[in-house]
Chains A and B, each alone.
Chain A
């Protein structure tokens, strides 16, 4: 197994863990955390392909990860603001109970 394959396997497992968490946990914050883990698994893929790929001097993977981290930060901020707004409205942060379309 080459180092690249090791990285990709780690990233696949991380993605699976994040996916499982995001799908199965009831709490809204943990769903967000699961999505963050999935994003980071993708970032690890980018870095691994940049490091062991053909043209590391082009910095494509690094750039992608930098932008991805910035987007993840924005996503976390908006997502957590949503969680707080939902909590304020429904008095719960359990995703299963938040199903009313009418306020």
Chain B
């Protein structure tokens, strides 16, 4: 339990808590970035260099950007006025607290965990690459297939339905009950004075 570990763990947990509790979604996503950068730092602290860098590359460079784009595309960048928590939020928090208590109790009282601290393992990128290409080559291929399938699937899901114009898809709406503005009805005097006051 070194000091760097404690600091990084605190920052990570704090950012994760912020990401789950802030009202504004963009702030949440930025806190989320901090949490994942903190996790990458934890991996580096645990001598897993390659995984740490991959974590930054994937989470900060790709997933965070995806989330940000999704937030902007669903027009939820503004701070909401209504409640952000679901009606049964109390039960959710109670269950998660129970989960944490159980896990913490298990971790602290377990006798199966190795007590002595082994020295830092010597892993190079070459080792990881060789392992990926020999022992783990089948999972690697499957991951490649999965990523391709996920990409095609995401594109198809997010694609606009064909054959529909913007009007039919409900993106452009003409409010027919609203009175036509400008030319026909000149602005009333109250509107004029209101504009100047």
In whole angstroms, what is the CA distance A76 to B147 when docked?
11
- Structural contact, B96 and A52, CB atoms closer than 8 A: no
Size of interface on B: residues with Cβ below 8 Å to A: 86
Chain B: minimal CB distance from A48 (Å): 6
A19 touches B96 (CB 8 A): yes
Cα–Cα distance between A24 and B100 once the two chains are bound (Å): 16
Which residues in window 59-101 of A have CB below 8 A to B?
A: 59, 61-63, 65-67, 69-78, 80-85, 87-88, 91, 93, 95-96
Residue in contact with A82 in the complex, picked from B87, B121, B157, CB distance below 8 Å = B157
Digitize B31-61: 1 where CB-to-A-CB distance is under 8 Å, 0 elsewhere.
0100110010011001110110011001100
A80 pairs with B117, CB closer than 8 A: no
How many A-B residue pairs lie within 8 Å, measured between CB atoms?
243
A69 vs B75: C-alpha distance in the bound complex, in angstroms? 28
Instruction: Report the minimum CB–CB distance from A70 to chain B (whole Å).
Output: 5
Q: Which of B123-131, B179-187, B188-196 contacts A (4 or more CB under 8 A)?
A: B123-131
Can you report 27 residue pairs joining A to B where beta carbons are below 8 Å apart?
Answer: A5-B113, A8-B103, A10-B9, A15-B103, A16-B96, A20-B93, A20-B97, A21-B19, A23-B86, A23-B92, A24-B86, A30-B25, A32-B67, A43-B55, A47-B51, A57-B123, A59-B128, A59-B131, A62-B128, A74-B150, A78-B150, A78-B157, A80-B66, A80-B154, A81-B153, A81-B154, A96-B87
